[in-house]
Amino acid sequence: MSAPRSLAALRRATAVNLGIGAGALSRALGKGGGTTVPGYLAERLDPGLLADLARALPGGCVAVSGTNGKTTTARILADALRLEGYEPIANREGSNLSRGLVTALIGASDRWGRPRFTERSIGVFELDEGTLPQVVARVAPRAVVLTNLLRDQLDRYFELDFLRHLWTTGLRLLAPSATLVVNADDPHLAHLAQELAGRALTFGVEDPGHLRPIMEHASDARRCPGCEHPLEYAGTFYAHLGHYACPACGWARPRPDLVAARVELGPEWSRFQVEGADRPALQLQVPLPGLHNVYNALAALAGAEALGVSEGSLVAAVGSVQGAFGRAEQLRLHGRDVVLALAKNPSGFNATLRWLEGAGYGSHLLLALNDAGPDGRDVSWIWDVDFEGLPRPEQVTCAGTRALDLALRVEYAGLGAPTIEEDPAAALWGSLGRVPEGGRLAVVATYTAMWSLRQALVRQGHLPEFWVEAGAPRGLAAARGE
Amino acid sequence: MRIAIGYLYPSVMSQYGDRGNVLTLCERSRRRGIEAEVVPLELGDPVDPDRVDVLLMGGGADTQQRLVAEDLVGTKGEGLRQAVEEGVALLAVCAGYQLLGHFYLAADGTRLPGVGIFDAHTVHRAAEIGARMESITAAGQVRAVGNVVVRREGMELVGFENHGGRTYLHPGAQPLGEVVVGRGNNGEDGTEGCVVAGAIGTYLHGPVLPKNPALADRLLASALGHRCGEVPPLHPLADAAEKAAHDVAVARALSGDRRSPVALRRRSGGARPWPGTERTARLSGPGARSARRHRPPG
């Protein structure tokens, strides 16, 4: 291999090697999967790295963003592409800022930072909502999949309207040939796609049986994005996603290109029929519970369609998807069934509470709330969760750095005074001890609280480390072994 | 005994968990055997001072603030002013606090008229320095975001602030308290919030009432005073859980504050972006200096 000779090339090589070395070190020290540090260092040293590598991908790339569901959607999409014969390069570990993308990409480059892609390489990038606008112009995606836009971590994203404004501005830089894949049940996204007037593909749920006549308290899409008059909802499926129309200006939910109908929700799965104009109906079964996972599978399906992936690959990918980090992970601990669910915003928490109850996990709850950066430093949002009206559980244990805030919230909702145990791992063993043999415990935790819970389970051999399971180290291991 | 809680704009101005304030007043009433009725006051609904004993208003984004400002001027303003004069208790948080001052100059330079209950006005930091907010990072530099601890005679309040507006109290206006941790009204004069008779304006989310039971009881006492003509003694509640949550939040605020100034300096290359200088990467624009300070008219 001949070495490129220029200062820029040298800088790139230094950036890549520093990143890879730091990742290896992080792993060796047991500090984590090294999914962030390599990209962070490499990008600091060589800011052009991301654009150069991403644009060199022979299959181009697809970006997945939104408040909830982006990790699962991106996973299904990457699996479908792999089954289709592509070689996806993905930031599967949920490190979804630009540094996570760089980590994934330098895992598939040589020591000079030159891509070692094959002609079937394609990028599947999960992107943080705040990062999306800046990254779109740099990586020039072939398709952008937007799952939903909901109230989330306001200490980081400030105001939903502002984020929406940034998305609109950022997505104007999409290539005319690129497809915008959006959830038609989210008024903001449906309106965004029409405003941008590029190629768009929409998806939505059409099953009156699951349409609830209520709006969650945290709903943020109460007004027409065009004229600001209050929207009229026939009902909602999840968060503010539903069927809506504006009585003032006549704007309404567009008829989606891809529709999920005949939705059936099981305790550990969901099933639906995909319908669309000029296509035979398609049955899909997702081995993940809850209506939110119907949306995730549907979003992936629409994304796959935009990329020209065959139905067969998609069906297989949906059928074998596993819960991402802390997303409905189920395990058996000391004779009890335990489910782990990540919840970091009101709508996600509401959806989780709903399927937990439906799946018979409602009587023993361990709720863990931390206020570190990735959790959101502002814990106000727990008061936007609709705890009111839940059947009173036999046990609620509150854990995390803000266990006491959560305990007040739960008690004020009339669910009784919870047990408090700040350390999430200790709380897990404690609450498990209060579940009768053969019973069920549901664990709902914010990001870093879930991390410490999982680590405790990993140490005892109950769960694999999440980056091993995610198949992340392949690229880096290959780079190290070259 | 019963009280009526007027919940101002529940669907457009309850963005940061502020309904927790409503739930707290209900819970603390219930524990004392007082019946609390919640009266939602949406856009278009007038305020009848005889119908409510305490009014609660939360935060919202700039878009919602425009709608609410119109409604305040056209429909509710007169009723609100009269209510406060007649001794109705009031708690307005963040955007609600801003709109009950004299005016609010929004990020894009739009001037929204206020109700004038609080002798103060608010200018969005971006409008103040003529900055355009083109990314989350840029917006973060003009916003005050973080835990807050406020000292008030005999009371320590804790919450979380998240605002781009800076509020300036006019001469003689009484602040709610002085800032111990955080930025408060404007990050310059050490004041936080404003108090006029039974009305309290504040930047504290959290929400503020569950973890600050003394403040909740102050509002409750004023509400009962409005209902009964005199303030009956409120029997004390145990509040062990509330006080513990308060203490943990204060400890988190104090530990976070020790770290943040260093982190802020490092990010902005020496200059602290908020409050103070406008020397930050994407924060420059025409009129940056001339728009720096808007003094109240007169």
CATH number for position B216: 3.40.50.880
Residue numbers of the domain that contains B148: 2-267
Do A401 and B67 count as a contact with CB atoms less than 8 A apart? Answer: no
A138 CA: distance to closest CA in chain B (Å):
15
Query: Could you read off the pLDDT of B58-85 as tens digits, one per residue?
Result: 988 777 888 899 999 999 999 999 999 9
What secondary structure letter does DSSP report for A475?
A: H
Torsion of CA A140, A143, A148, A154, to 10 degrees: -10
Q: Nearest Cα to A123, choosing from A32, A51, A36, A203?
A: A51
Q: How many CB atoms lie within 10 A of CB A194?
A: 15
CA A113 to CA A105: how far, in whole Å? Answer: 9
Greatest Cα pair distance, chain A, in angstroms, is 70
Task: Reduce the secondary structure of A138-198 to three states and give it as a string.
Answer: HHCCCEEEECCCCCCCHHHHCCHHHHHHHHHHHHCCCCCCCEEEEECCCHHHHHHHHHHCC
CA B204 to CA B143: how far, in whole Å? Answer: 14
Contact B262/A at CB under 8 A:
no
CA B198 to CA B225: how far, in whole Å? Answer: 10
Q: Pick A155's closest partner by Cβ from B134, B162, B244.
A: B162
Give the dihedral sign, CA A390/A393/A399/A403: positive
CA A104 to CA B101: how far, in whole Å? Answer: 51
Tell me, which fold does domain A327-467 have in CATH?
A: Protein-Tyrosine Phosphatase; Chain A (3.90.190)
Q: Both tokens of residue B25?
A: 């007043």
- What pLDDT, on a 0 to 100 scale, did the predictor assign at position A3? 57
Q: B63 in a domain, yes or no?
A: yes
Do B162 and A228 count as a contact with CB atoms less than 8 A apart? Answer: no
Query: Could you read off the pLDDT of A374-433 as tens digits, one per residue?
Result: 898 999 999 999 999 899 999 999 999 999 999 999 999 999 999 999 999 999 999 999
Residues of A in contact with B207 (CB under 8 A): 380, 383
Q: Pick the residue with more confidence: B58 or B275?
A: B58
Q: How many CB atoms lie within 10 A of CB A378?
A: 22
Give the least confident one: A158-167, B53-62, B243-252: A158-167
Looking at the DSSP bridge assignments, the partners of residue B166 are B123
CA B297 to CA B294: how far, in whole Å? Answer: 9
Q: Both tokens of residue A134?
A: 């800046």
Helices (H) and strands (E) in chain B, counts: 9, 14
CA A70 to CA A50: how far, in whole Å? Answer: 20
B142 to chain A: closest CA residue: A158
Task: Reduce the secondary structure of B48-106 to three states and give it as a string.
Answer: CCCCCCEEEECCCCHHHHHHHHHHHHHHHHHHHHHHHHCCCEEEEECHHHHHCCCEEEC
Residues of B in contact with A217 (CB under 8 A): 14, 19
Q: B95 in a domain, yes or no?
A: yes
B172 CA: distance to closest CA in chain A (Å):
32
Q: Both tokens of residue A152?
A: 């989330």
Contact residues, A window 205-264, toward B, CB-based 8 Å cutoff? 217, 219-220, 222-223, 228
Give the dihedral sign, CA A171/B63/A238/A156: positive
* H helix or E strand, kind and range, residue A124: strand A121-127
- What pLDDT, on a 0 to 100 scale, did the predictor assign at position B245? 96
Contact B108/A at CB under 8 A:
no
Mean pLDDT, chain B, rounded, equals 84
Helices A424-433/A447-459 angle, 10° precision: 70
Contact residues, B window 50-89, toward A, CB-based 8 Å cutoff? 61-63, 67
Q: B141 in a domain, yes or no?
A: yes
Q: B163 in a domain, yes or no?
A: yes
- What pLDDT, on a 0 to 100 scale, did the predictor assign at position B296? 37
Q: Pick B19's closest partner by Cβ from A154, A217, A222.
A: A217
Q: Nearest Cα to A412, choosing from A430, A395, A390, A428?
A: A390
B208 to chain A: closest CA residue: A380
* H helix or E strand, kind and range, residue B129: helix B125-129
Indicate the SS3 state at residue A282: strand
Spatial neighbors of A56 by CB under 8 A, at least 6 apart, are: A115, A117
ipTM score for this prediction: 0.85
- What pLDDT, on a 0 to 100 scale, did the predictor assign at position A4? 60
- Chain A interface, mutation test: which of B14, B18, B162, B203, most A Cβ atoms within 10 Å? B162
CA A290 to CA A267: how far, in whole Å? Answer: 8
- What pLDDT, on a 0 to 100 scale, did the predictor assign at position B255? 86
- What pLDDT, on a 0 to 100 scale, did the predictor assign at position A113? 86
- What pLDDT, on a 0 to 100 scale, did the predictor assign at position B269? 31
* H helix or E strand, kind and range, residue B3: strand B2-8
Q: Pick the residue with more confidence: B53 or B139?
A: B53
Query: Could you read off the pLDDT of B25-49 as tens digits, one per residue?
Result: 999 999 999 999 999 999 999 999 9
Which residues of chain A are modeled with pLDDT < 70?
1-4, 31-33, 92-94, 158, 465-482
Looking at the DSSP bridge assignments, the partners of residue A199 are A179
**Could you tell me the strand order of the sheet in which B191-192 lies?**
B155-163, B144-152, B177-181, B191-192
- What pLDDT, on a 0 to 100 scale, did the predictor assign at position B295? 37
Contact A412/B at CB under 8 A:
yes
- What pLDDT, on a 0 to 100 scale, did the predictor assign at position A205? 97
Domain A7-324: assigned CATH number: 3.40.1190.10
CA A137 to CA A142: how far, in whole Å? Answer: 11
Provide DSSP, B174-221. Answer: BPSEEEEES-TTTSSS-EE-EEETTEEEE--BTTHHHH-HHHHHHHHH
C-alpha B11: how far from its chain's center?
Answer: 17
Query: Could you read off the pLDDT of B204-242 as tens digits, one per residue?
Result: 999 999 999 999 999 999 999 999 988 878 999 999 999
- What pLDDT, on a 0 to 100 scale, did the predictor assign at position A156? 73
B145 to chain A: closest CA residue: A155
- What pLDDT, on a 0 to 100 scale, did the predictor assign at position A33? 62
- What pLDDT, on a 0 to 100 scale, did the predictor assign at position A420? 96
3-state DSSP percent of chain A in helix, strand and coil, to 5: 40, 20, 40
Contact A394/B at CB under 8 A:
no
Q: B202 in a domain, yes or no?
A: yes
CA A419 to CA A248: how far, in whole Å? Answer: 50
CA A275 to CA A264: how far, in whole Å? Answer: 15
Token look-up 């796609």 returns: A193
Query: Could you read off the pLDDT of B151-208 as tens digits, one per residue?
Result: 998 899 999 999 999 999 999 999 999 999 999 999 999 999 999 999 999 999 999 9
| Residue A285 exposed, middle or buried by CB count within 10 Å (0-12, 13-18, 19+) | middle
- What pLDDT, on a 0 to 100 scale, did the predictor assign at position B286? 34
The tally of domains found in chain B comes to 1
In chain A, where are the structural domains located? 7-324, 327-467
Q: B280 in a domain, yes or no?
A: no
Identity (one letter) of the amino acid at B280? Answer: T
